[in-house]
Structure 1
Amino acid sequence: MEQEQVVTFFSEGIRHVLQAACLNFGNIYEIRLRVSQPLLLSSQEGEIFLDDKGRRTRDLKRAFRVTAEELSETLEIISEYSLYAYEEELRQGFLTVPGGHRVGVAGRTVLSGKRVDGMRDISCLNLRLAHEKKGCADSVFSWVYGKEVAHTLIISPPRCGKTTLLRDLIRQISNGTSSCPGRTVGVVDERSEIAGCYQGIAQNDVGIRTDVLDGCPKAEGMMMLIRSMAPQVVAVDELGDYEDIHAIESVVHCGCKLLATVHGNSLEDLRRKPLFQRLMEERVFERYLLLGYEKRAGVIRGIYDADGQPL
């Protein structure tokens, strides 16, 4: 990941600090800005604080602190000086920027009844860096795509690489191999994290036969894809509510194959969730991929069949 691209999202003061630090942005997960608080970077090696010269420090009194002006300037740069044009995204709490990176925002919400209608007095920004790792699904591809694509659920704790793995599976299934023909894949990218669309164009490589519904609720998007794009495979990230589960059943009954992810630490953890208990009992998913974190994200801890037996 190029430093030159990442630092351009920030105000001049923050940009100088990041440039002086000579960071490997391939190892950085998040860059957090909070008004009057230290600039905070989350990385593979843990939290990083920098002083105003870009030097690492554990002394918070010396750490570079973000001013309201710096945060406001950063927000203007990210929104291309037209924040009003991003009102719909702000309602969802984030903006997507070139490169597929996502900027989370927090501040005072503007309500219309019980509905969030916008946000003002923004005081916190979180740039989540997209890490595209082509080939990270190589070790599991043959378990997911044999004679046909298997209904697959990726189970992972937060920040262990489930979206990165899902993205590479989508890319490989879409492109195909010498022994596995490419399949038409429909992606519902509710949070713009899989394809990382910017102005409707995928910034991440999701394959040559992939169609993306960006910023669309998963349940509604799955049905829209089935009706309009005739996918052979449907992919979604972070299943979580009853509407998602109902849509999954419709996808399966329509003959489409399903790729999905969910937060969890184990199959037993998943069985304790009422939403997934019935899906597991009915053997809807034919493969379960369990991820963990052991010195690095994306470690495959286990591959299981429809009955939860290790393969």
Structure 2
Amino acid sequence: MQYYLKAAECFANDVRNALCAVDREIMPMITEIRLRRNKPLMLCSAKETAFLSAAGRLTPVPAPDSLIITERMLQENFLKLCDYSVYSSMAELKNGFITVAGGSRVGVCASAVLREGQVVSVKNVTSLNFRIARAVRGCALPILNTLFVHALPSVILAGPPGSGKTTVLRDLALQLSNGFAGRYIKVCIADERGEFAANGSRFELETGLNCDVYSYFPKRDAIEMAMRTMSAQLIVCDEVATPSEVDAIAHGFSSGIAFAVSVHLNSIEDVFSKLAVRRLLEFNEFSYLILLKNYANDFVMIDCKEVYNEIHRRDSSHNGSNGHGPLFF
């Protein structure tokens, strides 16, 4: 409930009051708060979506008393979420989001302002999606107890949005740096978007005793610094996607560092079309691909060598007998 109430405090008066009036037994289940211009305010859990009234009443379909987000209300809440400085949030806004206190990410739909084909600003905000960041203590233990008791393997956590990748990675870092299985692993987190722990100079979500966090640095830079100056044993990265990030991970492997990273995959079949994942597997350094469905309560663990061999088999079949196929950027 504390994470929900902290999220509610990020909104302007009308929305905040409605959110705080929700039944307290329901608050811990809410994962998203969605505002759309001239449409009802919606709350989402892992399995359901509901419409919220000004009095805090939830209904499965729009009701006469559902709270409609007017253009004025949307603008007020957008400005408050930006801490009344759109300019200082513009680097994130150009990528479709802002990060607020406590590590929650707010997706922002708007119109892009282009200059020579590049997004330089945004205007006319139409939708906000507040994804509530939570620390779920112990949620990584099923994975840790299976893989990390006597080893420090490199792992890829994969899943669709909302499957708990960031939450599980955060707890994995916490447990390993706090002495899991009698070892205090030196962990560094490349927290490019401030989702793991950061809020300015404070860490609002715990990351562990032997954990260091690089906040808002590009992942490739944070990885290089963790290698050079922090003697990290394990580096944690969320949402690896670009060639430069993959190259930085390759450099880390050459220095004997382990990695726990996440990638977006809706199913294991997506592995065969995601170039970043294919190249990560090509290094032959990751031990397991862990496909999350609902945090670590429901996951499938797959040997990375088996996945890579299947990629190679499919590529060879597609291209005849002449080798690897498109495994490189």
TM-score by length of 2: 0.83
Partner of 1:120 in structure 2? 123
Structure 2 residue 291 is the aligned partner of structure 1 residue 290 = yes
In the alignment, the residues of structure 1 paired with residue 159 and residue 31 of structure 2 have an alpha-carbon distance, to the nearest angstrom, of: 17
Q: Percent identity?
A: 32
More helix by share: 2
Q: Distance in 2 between matches of 1:76 and 1:249?
A: 40
> Higher mean Cα deviation, 200-209 or 232-241?
200-209
Q: Given that residues 79 and 85 in structure 2 are in contact (C-alpha distance below 8 angstroms), is that contact kept between their aligned partners in structure 1?
A: yes
Which structure 1 residue ranges, 5 or more long, are not aligned?
Answer: none
The whole-number CA distance in structure 1 between the counterparts of 2:224 and 2:168 is 24
Unaligned regions of 5+ residues in structure 2, if any? 308-329
Describe the shift of the 1:18–1:80 C-alpha distance in structure 2 as closer, same or farther (beyond 3 A): same
| 1:187 alignment partner in structure 2 | 189
Among candidates 23, 26, 29, match of residue 28 of structure 2? 26
Selected match of 2:146 from 123, 126, 143: 143
1:82 Cα offset (Å): 3.4
Divergent runs of 4+, >6 A: none
Cα RMSD of the aligned pairs, angstroms, is: 2.4
Q: Tell me, what secondary structure is at the counterpart of 2:98? A: strand
Q: Go from structure 1 to structure 2 and tell me whether the alpha carbon gap of 1:14 and 1:268 turns closer, same or farther (over 3 Å shift).
A: closer
Deviation of 1:256 after TM superposition, in Å, equals 0.7
Q: Conserved in 2, the CA contact under 8 Å of 1:271 and 1:280?
A: no
231-240 vs 79-88, greater mean Cα deviation? 79-88
Q: 1:161 aligns with which of 136, 159, 164?
A: 164
Distance 1:216 1:113 in 2: 26
1:306, distance to aligned residue in structure 2 (A): 4.1
Shift of 1:176: 1.5
Instruction: Give the CA deviation at 1:122.
Output: 2.2
Q: Map of 1:241-260 to 2, 5 A cutoff? A: 241-260=242-261
Q: Is the 8 A contact 2:49 2:60 kept in 1?
A: no
Q: Evaluate the alpha carbon distance shift between residue 228 and residue 75 of structure 1 in structure 2; reply closer, same or farther with a 3 A threshold.
A: same
Q: Structure 2 vs 1, CA of residues 255 and 16 (structure 1 numbering), >3 Å: closer, same or farther?
A: same
Contact 1:133 1:164 in 2 (8 A): yes
1:240-266 per-residue CA deviation (whole Å, 9 max, x = no partner) reads: 232222222111111111111112245
Change (3 A) 1:202 1:112: farther
- Paired residue for 2:301, among 278, 300, 303? 303
Q: Determine if contact 1:33/1:40 at 8 Å carries over to the other structure.
A: yes
Looking at structure 1, the residues matched to 139 and 60 of structure 2 have their Cα atoms a distance apart, in angstroms, of: 34
8 Å CA contact retained: 1:10, 1:74:
yes
